[in-house]
Amino acid sequence: MSRKGRAEGESAPKRISAEGSPVSLPSGAVARHRGAPRLHVESVGQGRPLVLLHGFALHGGLFAPLLPAFAKHHRVHVVDLPGHGHSDPIDPWTIDAVVAALERAFATEQQPLAVMGWSLGGVIALAWAVAHPHRLRMTMTLEGCRDGGLVNRDCLFQHRNSPWRFRHQF
């Protein structure tokens, strides 16, 4: 597994240009539309789309330990939110502006999206679902964990006896 979350030999992620044609990128997908900030998205795996949104002052690399498991059954899109990681900042930074940037970045995705957001990413996922309910198949929100807030497999699956059983829901 490379630092970017791709298995060895796996093709580079794809970017969709403003005109709608796919463009190969050597080190991660970058969604940019005329007059819009650059939104960095790394994609890996095959299957139904799953979008991962990180929390405040973090970046999509936070989810790297989870990618191998998720990518077995999903096309996983790891987003660097505006002003985080490799994405450009937006001004003014509002939840609605972030939702609009995500909607532009995933405009060509035909299947309804599952979106998992952690902390601020969860707030954005819920706002996206309210603004564009036809686009999202489901949202999952994660909050802090007992280990100081790091997202890890044990944290996500610690409630395996709960009624909604995270790992089987999507």
First-to-final CA distance of the chain: 23
**39-56 pLDDT per residue, tens:** 999 999 999 999 999 999
Q: Is residue 111 part of a domain?
A: yes
Q: Which domain holds residue 45?
A: 30-169
Q: Is residue 145 part of a domain?
A: yes
Q: Is residue 17 part of a domain?
A: no
Number of separate domains in the chain: 1
27 pLDDT exceeds 70? no
CA distance 130 to 65: 29
User: Residue 3 burial (CB < 10 Å; 0-12/13-18/19+)?
Assistant: exposed
- Give the pTM: 0.68
Task: Give the model's pLDDT for residue 78.
Answer: 97
Q: Is residue 142 part of a domain?
A: yes
Task: Give the model's pLDDT for residue 170.
Answer: 40
Number of other residues whose CB lies within 10 A of the CB of residue 151: 23
Q: Which helix (H) or strand (E) holds 112?
A: none
Q: Is residue 24 part of a domain?
A: no
What CATH number is given to the structural domain containing 120? Answer: 3.40.50.1820
Q: Is residue 23 part of a domain?
A: no
| Residue 37 binned pLDDT confidence (cut-offs 50, 70, 90) | confident
**How many percent of the chain have pLDDT more than 90?**
58
7 pLDDT exceeds 60? no
Average pLDDT, the chain: 74
**59-113 pLDDT per residue, tens:** 999 999 999 999 999 999 999 999 999 999 999 999 999 999 999 999 999 999 9
| Residue 35 binned pLDDT confidence (cut-offs 50, 70, 90) | low
Do the Cβ atoms of 41 and 30 come closer than 8 Å? yes
- Strand, coil or helix: 24: strand
Q: Is residue 48 part of a domain?
A: yes
User: Could you give the angle at which helices 95-105 and 120-131 cross, rounded to 10 degrees?
Assistant: 70
